[in-house]
Structure 1
């Protein structure tokens, strides 16, 4: 996966939200920096910083390792002040999702759509 950057209107608020919503439930270690913070398993792949224009809304998806991790992400993200944008559950193939696509969506404090997704193995 390529590195993504999410714009932050209020970096400290967005960093706190990211720490609660992404780092803990998704087991993403964080890499703090003076002007931003990065998250990722082996190396930072997702950054929250103050340099990118916050008026541009983005959609970022994190690959979860289980349904439970998707559920934990959604609960933590909403508890941390994110807005529910689609509760955890299987998404329908009739709406364009592949079979076994289990996901949850939350709007972060800056209105970016953050998703956690677990793709169930084919049977």
Structure 2
């Protein structure tokens, strides 16, 4: 079980704007940080996703955040794109992951693949 994940970012201010907006629909907020080098996001009081200023950010990361329902996945995608994210897979069923796997993928400003996923069947 993971306790937290940290990804490197090139421009902390740009990434703060992106993640503040993209994670809000998931109920995840910025909880900690110094504003200049790092920030921790989570659900009060626990930060489990961290970004940190790096001169050479790592790319190729894939981080999936759990969503309570499919509408939340949709809101995540819309907020992330509006905040400067790049499409990497519009919201939808990914049958190759499972019959109820509903996910959306965006690249953050540093190229990290950020996903929101709901694994529950559609409410009818």
TM-score band w.r.t. shorter chain: 0.7 to 0.9
2:86 alignment partner, one of 83, 86, 105: 83
Distance 2:56 2:66 in 1: 25
After TM superposition, list the pairs within 5 Å mapping 1:1-123 onto structure 2. Answer: 1-22=2-23, 24-34=24-34, 35-42=37-44, 43-51=46-54, 53-92=56-95, 95=96, 97-121=97-121
TM-score by length of 2: 0.87
Question: Equivalent residue of 1:111, what SS?
Answer: coil
Runs of 4+ in 1 over 4 A off after TM superposition: none
* Inter-CA distance 52–99: structure 2 relative to 1 (3 Å threshold): farther
Distance 1:49 1:32 in 2: 12
Aligned-pair CA distance for 1:52: 8.1
* Inter-CA distance 107–101: structure 2 relative to 1 (3 Å threshold): same
Answer yes or no: is the 8 Å Cα contact 2:59–2:110 preserved in 1: no
Answer yes or no: is the 8 Å Cα contact 2:59–2:111 preserved in 1: no
Distance 1:106 1:83 in 2: 5
Aligned-pair CA distance for 1:33: 1.0
Distance 1:51 1:86 in 2: 27
- Measured on the aligned residues, the alpha-carbon RMSD in Å equals 1.5
Distance 2:17 2:32 in 1: 12
Distance 1:91 1:52 in 2: 35
